[in-house]
Chain A
Amino acid sequence: MISTLTIPALPEGWAAEKDFKPIGKITKDHATQRTIEPVGPHFLAHARRARHKRTFSEDDRIQAQERAKKVEENDESDISEPEDPMLLARDAKDWKNQDHYKVLGLSKFRYKATEEQIKRAHRKKVLRHHPDKRAATGKTEDDSFFKCIQKATEVLLDPVTRRQFDSVDEEAEVEPPTKKQLTKGNFYKLWGNVFKAEARFSKTHPVPLFGDNKSSKEDVEAFYNFWYNFDSWRTFEYLDEDVPDDNENRDQKRHTERKNANARKKKKVEDNARLRKLLDDCSAGDERIKRFRQEANAAKNKKRLEREAAEKKAADDAAAKKAADEAAAKEAEEKAKVDREAGKKAKEAAKTAVKKNKRVLRGSVKDANYFVAGDASAATIDAVLGDVELVQAKVDPEEIAALAAKLNGLKVADEIKAVWKEEVGRLVAAGKVKEAEIKALN
């Protein structure tokens, strides 16, 4: 394998004094002062190097030994539990009903006891209770409790029988909290302990923890999910009423076995139901679930309200827009109407004004007696009025008004004529009227 591996190429720009760059240090851990075994040829070489003809004192030895990491534990077990006199008086024949953990002084550990702890506890008990030792120290030779110890060890050191016992170890059970206990709070701790204990039966590990009121929705869901689908190794062989014995005939044996199998099955069903009820009870009181539901509802509501609000706003906006549009249209219409009417009036007024002014214009030439002395001939009148008509036709109402204004009040024919002449001149100059078209007012 190593042959396919190569030393990498030097990265671009790598440089160091004398091509060597110290960067870190190797991990120092004082706990790794260890004792090498003073055995073998290689140790001999080491000793020669280490000693250099030095002689070590007893002090050196003690100090060095204290520094060395200990690998041997004390054989004496640290497990100690006072022995209950009632327990010591137990009859080994009744081993099925004995608390094996208590017999070995492992009450505190139970299903959590390691195999090594069980062995150490056993040895400790043997040292104290072996009947030969008791006899040697003049105590009674009663070996009943010793047999209890042996039986307990036998059961607990075999993983199969240990599970059978652990399955029905009432002392390891944690009862679900009562309503009264729960009223004092501690919901999470109390139920948490229940499930921590139940978790001993789990085939799969790790088992999700119950958590507390700060647990996330995902964790709580994972917890209930796990437990509603709990895969348990709990078995009920230990409670078998009859143990088939080798001396029975086959049929009898088979009958007993069948009876046991049915009883176990029934207990297993009951146990599953028990766990289910536990979960139902627990989840029913689990404020987190309520809270998550409320939160979910609130979230749903919030969404709905938001949606409704949005819809309402859209509707309102549309209505408002419609109203505004309508109002605007109406206003526009009204304005148009007013304008129209005003226009009409103005037009009429203008028309009237034009009419009036035209009357002034016509009146002016009449007043000027058509610029002749004496009765004017019909032709003259026609000519003058023809010119007036022409001018009127060529100018707009304002010019008419302006002209009328100039003419108004004038009585003297020449003045009138001058005004007309000026006007005609203006129009001719503006190209609106041709010189030739004018018959009288030039």
Chain B
Amino acid sequence: MSDKKVATSPDDRTVIGITFGNSNSSVAHTVDDKAEVIANEDGDRQIPTILSYVDGEEYYGQQAKNFLVRNPKNTAAYFRDFLGKDFKSIDPTHNHASAHPEDANGAVTFTVKDKEGEDAEPSKLSVDEVAARFFRRLVGSASDYLGKKITSAVITVPTNFSDKQKSALIAAATAADVEVLQLISEPVAAALAYDARPDTEVKDKIVVVADLGGTRSDVTVLASRSGMYTVLATAHDYEFHGAALDKVLMDHFAKEFLKKNPKSDPRENARSLAKLKLESESTKKALSIGANASFSVESLADGIDFASTINRLRYEMIARGVFEGITRLVSSVIKKAGLDVLDIDEVILSGGTSHTPRIASNLAAVFPESTAIQSPSTSATAVNPSELQARGAALQASLIEMYEAEDIDQSTHAAVTTVPHITNAIGVVSRSPSGEDVFIPIVQPETAVPTRRTVFVPAPKDGGDVLVRIVEGNTHIKVTQPAPKAAAANGGSRAAKVEDADDSDADESDSEEEEDDDEEKREKVWKIGATVAEAAIRGVKKGGKVEVTINVNADLSVIVTTREVGGKGGVRGVISA
């Protein structure tokens, strides 16, 4: 892999973070350790991943996107996901309204007229070439902005990018004269963008990153332990995404248009369709901010202008299927990770579609109050979801820019990244005021080892000799059923159901709502597992505290150190692996 890379000496580097999306790309750099997304010459921070050729002139980004109406055949869009793939295994769905991917002995190509002149021969551009050209533009405009040539970048990739796709991406960047310092996972970049904010304390947590883009939605469950991330589960969805929301609005406005102009369906003509799509997308974006949005297209179909408005409520109703699909997708990944919504500490909404308030509020409804939902509409401190990945990449770039390429390569090596993770939590047994044994976690499950964690627990009021019992622990979900009164009523009506055929749909939704009212209560509780070790701390002072430190070594042996806070000595013991 590394043979193709261009290596720049650390001293000569100017680095950026790049997110190279299937719909949009973005570039960020760091200023005083803070990541900032760079606007291109058009003032865009989200730059459509599109190239368009008109009269031998190359356009990229939003300008190229606008050419989807007048010049679709010479416009290449949605090609990122084709890198490193055979023609056989690509999905051309989103390319229908632009240059179609073609099969060149298995390789994916686009045929576009990229040279000037009426009768200039169209060129067959491989997807690698298209990507390289796009990179050149993207990085070029960032170089212009920074006033110096960008040499190197960290680029984000989906978690399911294969080695082949990665190689192709590196090759494309290399062809654009960009040294790829590292490829990092998109959801991890998003998590880093949050966690690297100043004053953010490092906490052990389980994070769900929902990356909702234009043509795909990728959801990842991450364990974050001591600021290190482990992917626990992922799902990739190609059904519920931004384009599906565009489609909902396209159909809505097409029908509105048809009511007035029954003979002109804007969906049946390529140019009308392209206009319909562009305007639907901007109406959709406007609905993320306002309660109302307008839709207005000159000469939508058959020369007829069309203007309309839609309010958010209506939009949320017609788009319900997509919104709910996204919620189900998120739930399914948590289940895949063997976790419960109660295990999730934070949900990071990333990607353009994550601006949609309803998606965030639907998710908030699924998670407990204690789960932080990071999205513009649910949190005042949320980072712009469209910028998360580029920022994360920029932060990573600034972290590693001083290292030799070889050094980076060795450090990101599987031999370094593959480490044992403990299965169960390790903790100490405490006593509640009512005399019950309660588990206090010290090291959370799914923590990479070696690791070291400390907790402080008060001794009994009067001090004295205390027992530090180190045990394994596990969580389970405790479900408390609602008051039995309601249940009895339900049971009664249920018994009569088979006979009761009149039971109309309206009744049914009613009874469902009733059931919602007395929802069962679910809570996460720790269960004390096997004892690992016991230690005694003697003569603890009145009102004293006990400090317990657990070191788990790479071989899963454990060192327990415990003492009275402020006291001398203490106990140290080793549990062999």
Contacts and interface: CB of A to CB of B under 8 A. Distances in A.
B571 A7 contact: no
A126 B93 contact: yes
Given A5-B431, A136-B102, A229-B498, A26 B552 contact: yes
Given A26-B532, A26-B556, A127-B89, A6 B235 contact: no
Given A20-B533, A28-B577, A269-B501, A72 B239 contact: no
B494 interface: yes
Interface string A130-166: 1011011100000000000000010001110000000
A6 B458 contact: yes
Contacts of A63: 415
Interface string B544-577: 0010000010001010100000000001111111
A130 B92 contact: yes
B422 interface: yes
B129 interface: no
A337 to B, nearest CB: 79
A292 interface: no
B100 A9 contact: no
B305 interface: no
Nearest to A58: B413
Nearest to B236: A75
Given A10-B466, A19-B536, A26-B422, A39 B189 contact: yes
A32 B420 contact: yes
Interface residues of B, number: 123
A14 B92 CA distance: 71
Nearest to B577: A25
Nearest to A57: B415
Contacts of A56: 410, 413, 415-416
A67 B577 contact: no
B433 interface: yes
A153 B103 contact: no
Contacts of A61: 413-415
A42 B202 contact: yes
B195 A40 contact: yes
Interface stretch (B21-29, B167-175, B226-234, B353-361): B226-234
B576 A28 contact: no
A36 B419 contact: yes
A34 B421 contact: yes
Contacts of B428: 7
A253 interface: no
A26 B424 contact: yes
B498 A122 contact: no
B160 A72 contact: yes
Interface stretch (B66-74, B137-145, B180-188, B285-293): B180-188
Interface stretch (A43-51, A212-220, A296-304): A43-51
B485 interface: no
B418 A35 contact: yes
A376 B472 CA distance: 137
A64 interface: yes
Given A5-B432, A11-B467, A130-B91, A24 B423 contact: no
Interface string B419-441: 11111101011111100011010
A34 B232 CA distance: 9
B418 A67 contact: yes
A70 B76 CA distance: 34
Contacts of B14: none
Contacts of A71: 159, 231-234
A6 B498 contact: no
> Which of A25, A75, A135 has the most CB atoms of chain B within a 10 A radius of its CB?
A25
B231 A44 contact: no
21 contacts: A5-B438, A9-B464, A14-B467, A14-B536, A22-B575, A24-B531, A28-B577, A34-B231, A34-B446, A36-B230, A40-B196, A51-B410, A60-B415, A71-B233, A71-B234, A76-B89, A123-B238, A133-B101, A204-B494, A231-B494, A265-B502
Per CB-CB distance, the 10 closest pairs between chain A and chain B, nearest first, are A42-B227, A20-B573, A10-B465, A64-B414, A5-B430, A47-B411, A38-B412, A64-B418, A60-B415, A56-B415
